[in-house]
Structure 1
Amino acid sequence: MTNLSFPLLKRVLIIIILFIGFCDVSVFAQTADKSDPSPLKFPVPKGISNQLFYLQRDPNTNTIICELNVDKNGVVDRKEPILVYWLRYAEKGEQEDLSYIQRKFAYGIQTKELAKDQFELRFVSHKKLPMYLQRGEDKKFHVFVTVNQKKVQIERIFVRIEGGSFWLPNVKYVEIKGVNTENDAVVTERIKV
């Protein structure tokens, strides 16, 4: 195998892992809301006290939760400031850890401490988009990202899949929903893949 083919192979592997992580029989469930670009009706995770944001994608409602990792005194774990796990809505909403492959190649988050209570975060599958865990104006921790020249406090990330195959899904775009820190407006910014 030549060095030129390795980046393509790595990209295909990441897409496969992302797709496998969400597969179930409810792939083509329909929703009555025609404004939703996805054929699925996604639940909104509730009751997670330290939730920072969540990630959802086609083809099912299983959801990745990204939660602040603090000790009993509320101090952030500097080695692992963020916990990432599933809420398996397609399987009665049970919580489940990421598999080794999902953690290392798809949904795991690499962290780098920048200063006290400030961390750079990057998904292992998409390292080009840095996110930042830090305190907001409300003194609570949030994750921020700059997309389309807007600083956004992330609430939800959505990955849209349209067709393709089990081994090579057709990723159309990623949407980041959150609050524009400049004017506190709720925004949804789309990134084409």
Structure 2
Amino acid sequence: MQEQTASAFTINKTLATDSTKKVKPAINFPVLPANISRLFYVQRDPNTNTIVYELNEINGQLNTEEPVHVYWIKYNEKGQHEELNYIQRKFAYGLNQKPLGNDKYDIRFVSYKKYPLTLMKGADGKYHIYATIAHKQAILNRIFVKIEGGSFWLPNVVYVEVKGIDPATGQEIVDRFKP
């Protein structure tokens, strides 16, 4: 899998045309640099903090109990890495990870179990997360969640945008859906 060239991943907030309303500037999300153990990452409004999903290896061997490690990059602070707290891990950004045999794993977000992901080795011999994107099986790279209002426990998700690579053609595939 080739890492895409870095470009700003910008999501424009709704711009008001009425002069009585303030125009909110676009948020420029950081594009993460290449990392051989990163599987994919999630970014969402209202800030640039990023959740990273990384291959979990111990001494070069996949941790079969927890093959994917999840953590934050806190760009709104000092860019430091932080582990998810208990509530984030169990109710929001954490994963349910289940072995399927033959070096394959069923991966599901704890907060949205309807979107199946599969951790498995690709034709290149490396582990990737595969997902259905625009009705095609693709290698998942990143997810953006557009949130407007709501609460931590019940956010108003406007849409989810998923981006990945078609393993057969190497072309980027993008899809949006409302969960």
Instruction: Name the TM tier (shorter chain).
Output: 0.7 to 0.9
Query: Higher helix proportion, which one?
Result: 1
The two structures have a TM-score, normalised by structure 2, of: 0.82
Q: How does 1:81-92 map to 2 (within 5 A)?
A: 81-92=67-78
Query: Higher strand proportion, which one?
Result: 2
The RMSD of aligned alpha carbons is 1.9
8 Å CA contact 2:71–2:83 kept in 1: the answer is yes
**C-alpha separation in 1, matches of 2:174 and 2:92:** 23
Matched, 1:70 2:45: no
Q: After the TM superposition, which parts of structure 1 deviate over 6 Å for at least 4 consecutive aligned residues?
A: none
**C-alpha separation in 1, matches of 2:61 and 2:110:** 25
Letter in 1 for 2:51: I
Q: How does 1:1-193 map to 2 (within 5 A)?
A: 36-38=11-13, 39-46=26-33, 48-72=35-59, 74-161=60-147, 163-166=148-151, 169-193=155-179
What percentage of residue pairs aligned between the two structures are identical?
Answer: 46
Q: Which residue of the partner structure matches residue 13 of structure 1?
A: none
Q: Give the paired residue count.
A: 159
**C-alpha separation in 2, matches of 1:116 and 1:165:** 41
- Deviation string for 1:9-48 (max 9, x for gaps)? xxxxxxxxxxxxxxxxxxxxxxxx8x73452100012253
The two structures have a TM-score, normalised by structure 1, of: 0.76
8 Å CA contact 2:55–2:67 kept in 1: the answer is yes
Q: Which consecutive residues of structure 1, in runs of 5 or more, have no partner in the other structure?
A: 1-32
SS at 2:40's partner residue? strand
Shift of 1:142: 0.4
Shift of 1:184: 1.9
